[in-house]
Chains A and B, each alone.
Chain A
Amino acid sequence: MSDEEPSSDFDQEHSEGAGDQPENARISLQEQEYSPKVNGRLQRQHRVFYQRKAKKIEQILSKDPVDIAELRQQSISRGGLLTDDLRRRAWPILLNVNVKNITPKPEAAVLQGHRDYRQVVLDVERSLRRFPPGMEEQHRLSLQDSLVDVIMRVLVKHPELYYYQGFHDICVTFLLVVDEDMAFALVEKLSLGHLRDYMEATMERTTQVLNYLQPLLKKANPELYDYLEGAELGNIFCLSWIITWFGHVLNDIKSILRIYDFFIACHALMPIYLTAAVVLYREKEIFETEQEMPFLHALLSKVPDNLPFEQLLSNAGDLYILYPPVELANEALKRFRRAQAQAAARKQLALQKNAQRKSILPDGNVTFAKVTWWMLGAVASVAVYALYSSMDWDWSSWISHGS
């Protein structure tokens, strides 16, 4: 992607006919298969639609100041920001980055002296899959160097943030579109916002976020929920979806970027809603799979590349309106506490068993009711909520559900 000449021409970059796109990914844009004739017409319609949308985004971006609500709406609605060129211009605005005042890169020694440097290098070295197959090795290597730097710059500037495996998947996505400085600035904002819960010293808050999934599934499809719970599936199968915004599990960079457009403009919990949308979409396959954790984990942990992502994003938005985070919070917290208590009980059992082994002590006190970052950020969520309700096009179905 990024080694192509930047292009604002939608036809070149993302048209249905784009040569490097697999057949199914192209079809998936259309959500349904039709006869060739109808298909041809639809394709034309799509093209016209996307061309208009690109123009509209151009218009929005050319105003000063930019109407951020409008831009968000474009980023969320079908197709998202469409091209890398538009992304380069829109992302900094959506994330409120001051492009004239980006913290300069510290000395290499400072970056390398950080506690997480080693782990970051290990993970970046193993990130080959995230680069376009055709990319020249020299170019890829220099991007990988930049990737390490982007990550380290965020961590060095914010000592309170901890690196997690998967953060590199977020950063590489940005680095494939924007330059190193901008990637750093964008990711820094996200780290302090959408991703904050994942960057704690421990995974406790990440676990709390994950605990929103089951209550959501329970409301949306009780039978499916029962089936998965009966298998004690757990929620690690989607851990990487959530903390990498699907960057780690999808192969098609276009889908990934589209999803990033969506998440950047949405509530921090939206990845949970998209996860639920994916799981719900695969209902049939799930019921056809034996009700055993390993089989369900194996089925679900891989996300097929040919899912109709536009449709699923729309479904995720519906779910968000139907079951906003506040309605799930209680249940999620209960779940979290139950898991904590179970872990404590199990630890206790182990302790009794190993009483003679003095080296084993439980971790310090467990604080159950820690409030997660985005709970505190409820104000922000109201803003996005209002945004949804203000939309009239294509997402009109959401409004009727809004409370």
Chain B
Amino acid sequence: MSGDLASRHSYDETPHTSRSEMVESAEGGAVQIVEKQVQRRIFKIIVIGDSNVGKTCLTYRFCLGKFPDKTEATIGVDFREKAVHVDGEHLKLQLWDTAGQERFRKSMVQHYYRNVHAVVFVYDMTKMSSFENMPQWIEECDRHNLNKSIPRILVGNKCDAVDRVAVNTNLAQKFADSHNMPLFETSAKDDEKANHVDAIFMTVAHKLKNSKPMMPPHLADFVPGEVPRNVEYISLRGSPHHRGLQTAARGQCGEKSDCGC
């Protein structure tokens, strides 16, 4: 069985190039394929967290540029995609938006954990329980063979609901620190934060672009020196939303080595 495992699922983690370019239309979220001879690296990012924390809205905001007017419970796994430009290179980010209900993640989602290049953990800032469940999600992630060296970030969503905030930033920061992840507090809903949401995913994109060793997570025995550090914010400097990010990310990177940043 394990031979089967090795051959069929060869953990081809290296970002592959695509022959055709996907263009996503904002209207229906329908995906159209436009044949264009482009070579671009594709990175797969999985977005996880409790039900109702706003995973669907966040990925929608990033990929389709707006807050969806009617969201629905995600059943199984949804796929959204966005082409991005990072330091002169065209990349493609595939966002895998997962169902939050526990029953789905136990058995169904594992297929989608495979070949993942980065993980975005999301909790709802107005809901303590969604934050308290984070360790479970992280453990789940570890259990699916994801090496700790792949970029992970923690996102507190719904920061627009100022008067309902239940998860203290310091607390979240401590937690993020202890897991060597940067923390971002943001809002998928607030139009003024749209740039911020973009910047968060772009941060991941930068990290992915620059972290050279795209090794299979289960094979890549992490060597601290190999992963470039502190590279991800550089090209965000000077952009309008840069400050928020900087503040949010302050103190995460550089101390511990296995955060991949």
A298 at the interface (CB under 8 A from B): yes
Complex A-B, nearest 7 residue pairs according to Cβ-Cβ distance, in ascending order:
A240-B75, A239-B76, A236-B76, A341-B1, A123-B73, A234-B111, A203-B107
In the complex, which of the residues B1, B22, B74, B94 contacts A338, with contact meaning CB atoms closer than 8 Å?
A: B1
Docked-complex contact A343 and B110, CB < 8 angstroms = yes
Which residue of chain B has the shortest Cβ distance to A199 in the bound complex?
B103
Q: B75 touching A204 by the CB < 8 A rule?
A: no
**Cβ A342 vs Cβ B101 within 8 A:** no
Least CB separation from B109: chain A residue: A236
Asked if A297 and B139 sit within 8 Å, CB to CB, the answer is no
Return the contact of B106 from the options A128, A202, A240, A346 (Cβ within 8 A).
A202
* A290: contacting residue among B9, B20, B107, CB under 8 A: B20
Interface status of B27 (Cβ within 8 A of chain A): no
Compute how far the CA of A332 lies from the CA of B18 in the bound complex, rounded to whole angstroms: 33
Contact with B along A111-150 (1 / 0, CB 8 A): 0000000010011001111000000000000000000000
A119-B101 in contact (CB<8A) = yes
Contacts A203-B103, A342-B5 given: A243-B75 contact, CB under 8 Å? yes
Query: From A351, which residue of chain B is reached at the shortest CB distance?
Result: B143
Compute how far the CA of A376 lies from the CA of B133 in the bound complex, rounded to whole angstroms: 37
Docked Cα-Cα span, A179 to B42, in Å, equals 49
Check B78–A301 contact: CB distance below 8 A: yes
Partner of A295, one of B22, B108, B145: B22
- Which residues from chain A contact B78 at a C-beta distance below 8 Å? 301
Give chain A nearest CB distance to B92 CB in angstroms. 10
Chain B, residues 17-36, CB within 8 Å of chain A (1/0): the string is: 01110100000001101000
Instruction: Pick from B2, B73, B109, B112: contact of A166, CB below 8 A.
Output: B73
Can you name 9 A-B pairs with beta carbons within 8 Å? A162-B103, A234-B112, A236-B111, A294-B42, A294-B81, A301-B79, A343-B110, A350-B145, A360-B142
Is A326 on the interface with B (CB-CB < 8 A)?
no
What is A's interface to B at a CB cutoff of 8 Å?
119, 122-123, 126-129, 162, 164-166, 168, 201-204, 206-207, 232, 234, 236-237, 239-240, 243-244, 248, 289-290, 292, 294-295, 297-299, 301-302, 338, 341-343, 345-347, 349-350, 353-354, 357, 359-360, 363
Give the contacting residue for B218; candidates A168, A201, A248, A350; CB below 8 A: A350
When each residue 60-75 of chain B gets 1 if its CB lies under 8 Å from chain A and 0 otherwise, what string results?
0000000000111111
Among A119, A239, A299, A354, the residue within 8 A (CB) of B75 is A239
Given A165-B75, A349-B145, are A239 and B1 neighbors across the interface (CB < 8 Å)? no
Query: What is the minimal beta-carbon distance from B96 to any residue of chain A, in angstroms?
Result: 8
B163 at interface, CB cutoff 8 A: no
> Given A164-B101, A203-B106, A207-B107: A244 and B75 within 8 A (CB)?
yes
- The residue on A at minimum CB distance from B29 is A302
B73 near A342 with CB under 8 A, answer no
Report B-chain residues with C-beta under 8 Å of the C-beta of A119. Answer: 51, 101
Q: What residues make up the interface of B, taking CB atoms closer than 8 Å to A?
A: 1-2, 4-5, 8-9, 16, 18-20, 22, 30-31, 33, 42, 44, 51-52, 70-79, 81, 94, 99, 101, 103-104, 106-112, 139, 142-145, 147, 218
Complex CA–CA separation, A165 to B145 (angstroms)? 26
Selected from A129, A162, A243, A349, the residue in CB contact (under 8 A) with B72 is A129
A360 touches B75 (CB 8 A): no
Question: Which residues of the partner chain A approach B44 to less than 8 Å between Cβ atoms?
Answer: 294
Is A350 a contact partner of B142 (Cβ separation < 8 A)? yes
Q: By the criterion CB–CB under 8 Å, are B108 and A236 in contact? A: yes
Name the B residues within 8 Å of A295 (CB-CB): 22, 33
Cβ contact within 8 Å between A345 and B1: yes
Contact among A168, A239, A338 for B73, CB-based, below 8 A: A168
In the complex, residue of chain A having the shortest beta-carbon distance to the beta carbon of B6: A345
Q: How far is the CB of B215 from chain A (nearest CB, A)?
A: 13
Chain A residues positioned under 8 Å from B111 (CB to CB)? 232, 234, 236
| Contact A338/B79 with A295-B22, A350-B143 known, Cβ cut-off 8 Å | no
CA distance A302 to B101 in the complex (A): 21
A79 vs chain B, min Cβ distance (A)? 28
Most buried by A among B52, B71, B76: B76
Chain B residue nearest to A302 in the complex (CB):
B30
> Cβ of A354: which chain B residues have Cβ within 8 Å of it?
142
Task: Report the minimal beta-carbon distance from A115 to chain B, rounded to whole angstroms.
Answer: 11
Q: Which of A162, A207, A349 gathers most chain B CB within 10 Å?
A: A349
User: Beyond the given A126-B72, A127-B73, A360-B139, could you list 4 further A-B residue pairs with CB under 8 A, ordered by the A residue number?
Assistant: A237-B76, A248-B75, A297-B79, A298-B81
